[in-house]
Structure 1
Amino acid sequence: MADEKKLPRATMRDNKLHVEGEKDVYVRGMIRSLTLHVRDLVYHRGYSVDEGKAQVTGRISGTAIIQRRDAIAVAGSKFRSTEMEFSVRAVPPGSEHEWKCTIGFLPYDWEISKPDDADHFYVEVYVTQEAFADAEGAFLAGRATALDIILDTDLWVPENDWHEPQSGFVNWHLVPTENPSDMPRSERGRVEQFGWREIPPLAGKPATPVAAEETPAYKAGQSWASDMVRTAQDDLQADKRFSPGPKKRSWGLVLAWTAFIVLCIGYALFKVAT
């Protein structure tokens, strides 16, 4: 890596971190959580083979968006972001990593990075097998599309931000090591909440469109109009039986019935639309 990307040295004095060239003094242990909303989830499943023995492995990755207008930065650098690459995986029962996390930073390296890669922060969360199976099932069933994570971390903040109210925003920091490096040291954290918002499997799916002619209101209007026309025809036949002989067609009656039928169909269409 080029020398201009090297971070300044950091030294610890009186439990406070001093970074070369920085006016701010950094501290940690602030009573505030790091809140993440993880979207664009992807499920990864495969097999790891050790000495000929295969074991199923799985993880869920995504993009973690830092909430509450907070951000993460590298002390001694201008690099700052409101997003981190995220992954969660299960650990064996009784592991010391249960409900823990690691937060770090990876600079672009032309030797190992992909062409579309860039400097980025990352957070890895480790949960119990039971918790991961629960999240895995909800995601694969289509009920969970995002995760909500709250972490208590060892990240650093400028000393002046120590008393920042909950309504304010904080820049969390990774800090350089004691030796010149292009990477800050990673930090640990503890999971306070691990969850997701579930949706019913059918929620959000558009209803199958129904033609207007197939709706109950339209059919009712047609039936009503047909009954009225049939009644009028029966009355006309009755008049002919009791009044033999040629009879002039009543155009006024025809127009009246036509207007009535049109009104019936219009009413049915109105009910369909509403």
Structure 2
Amino acid sequence: MNNIIQVSGLSKSFGKLKALKDISFSAGRGSIIGLMGANGCGKSTLLRNMIGLYLPDAGTSQVFGEQSCELSPQTLSRIGYVHQEGRLLNWMSIRQLLRYVRSHYQNWDENLEEKFIEWFDLEPKAVVGKLSPGKRQQTAILAAICHNPELLILDEPASALDPLARSRFLDLLLELLQNDGEKTIIISSHILSDIEKVIDRAVIMDKGRILKDCDFDKLKENIFKAVVENGAGADLTNLLLSGKIAHHRSDGTKTSLVLQDISRAEAEKILSEEKIDAEIIPLPLEEIYKVIAGKAEYVL
């Protein structure tokens, strides 16, 4: 499968701050990729390099076969982008803004526009500059999707949305992918409990580097928690799974082990063969992130 994004050895600094350090990343068609990490880890910088808003100090970035710093109008028309700050033309009404954005694209979907104006409960005559942060962000999302982009890049798109609006937004992403299985969506977010519902690939960054890049189902399978009764069973479990334990704690009656780099099936087989009764507990993405970021001791 040909990659529509190809980033190789990308580095970017702002003065003495090294925002990206030798990043390599690629993406094919037909997936929702979650880009995760703490504030300041380089997520937004990477996304902005991909679409040519920033120029790299070293390395290359290509989208649809073109250098990101030289994207043609034709290629830009294949991309939708939502900035985390939702920069829009404040003096326009929502309808005027959408008409203005529409004038730059040939493939504007009026039915999709009307559908999501109603779904997001937007008032077309409302002035953009007077919108609440949530309605402003919904308007930015709408402006980015109605030309049916092949690549949709979302930088913290749900940060200002309330829980109901976030749920509708996630449903929107799934619908977009179901309607066009060739579409690629990259979503950067710190609300991990939301994006884990829709992503199929996880990319985790820290301090300008990619720590983990893998299939999300595989990630969930290989990072989990096992709980065993204290005593000989707990001691044997520690011994059998040595090297796979990211962290362990005991509450006096039970020992809880955070395991990584071993599948749940493998762990269950090892423990079963030794007749150790263990409860295997899947971890939500927020807890998995702590393990990858080297903070397994904070896993709940």
Q: TM-score if structure 1 supplies the norm length?
A: 0.19
Report which of the two has the higher share of strand.
1
> Larger Cα Rg: Structure 1 or Structure 2?
1
- Greater share of residues in helix: 2
